[in-house]
Amino acid sequence: MEMERITKAAKAIETACGGADVGLILGSGLGDSFASLSVQGLLSYKDIPGFPLPTVPGHHGQWVSGTLHGKRVAVMRGRFHYYEGYSIQDIALPVRVMRQLGVKTLIVTNAAGGVNTGFTPGDLMLIRDTINFSGVNPLMGPNLDVYGPRFPDMSNQFDPGLLGAARVCAKGLGIKLQEGVYMWFSGPSFETPAEIRMARAMGADAVGMSTVPEVLAARHCGMAVLGISCITNMAAGILDQPLNHQEVLDTGRRVRESFTSLIDGIVKAI
């Protein structure tokens, strides 16, 4: 049943936009960060069979395909979140569809709250590892054997070669690039100060409400994955101010130029 849904969605996208070699998932406030892409096809999520629709500001709900530095690239302008009421299988659907379309490399991005007190809003952070604090996993249920094993190894979630390329690219562009561990909370409420203290004690440098399920699905599919967080705000209890989604969107737009340059350089290096 799930494979049928994946196949139908992939067929609709391939007909309208073609296949792809590289997949890019853009987080809150980062949906316009693909200016250098030579667009060849665009499809609204509402026109893709079985696709949920994003309900969160900053997520456009569009599948864009094109070429960048000779590579076929599929861009998701916006994602689905578990807190929107979608199933964990819904969250993994686009990644599995990408694999069906030929994607072997996935770059996943997000807006995140800074837990590491050495971070500043506007910093970009390479994700070295993740902590799943949600209690759910997209690999639960019957295993899709066509994609990967029942018990996939997560020792190296993020591809060493892609991490190295990102570091070299950032240095060449003069972009300050932090590195750290991303911790997934289900949301939609922002984390409490006590939860942030716990996250720091557990080794997290940033927190957010996405990305981890997509990474799990991608690694199960055998994709090489790179993750980048935009630190859009400091997490609860670090600064004496309330948190709000508008700050997330504003900071994402502020760093768009450097973020786009970094993504462009990484795709070129793949």
Q: Active-site residues: which are they?
A: 28, 59, 81, 83-84, 111, 209-210, 233, 245
How many CB atoms are closer than 10 A to CB 24?
Answer: 27
* Whole-angstrom Cα Rg for the chain: 17
Cβ–Cβ under 8 Å, residues 129 and 181: yes
> Which residue is associated with the tokens 């996405």?
210
CA distances from 4 to 10, 92, 99, 139, 144 (A): 10, 14, 14, 17, 12
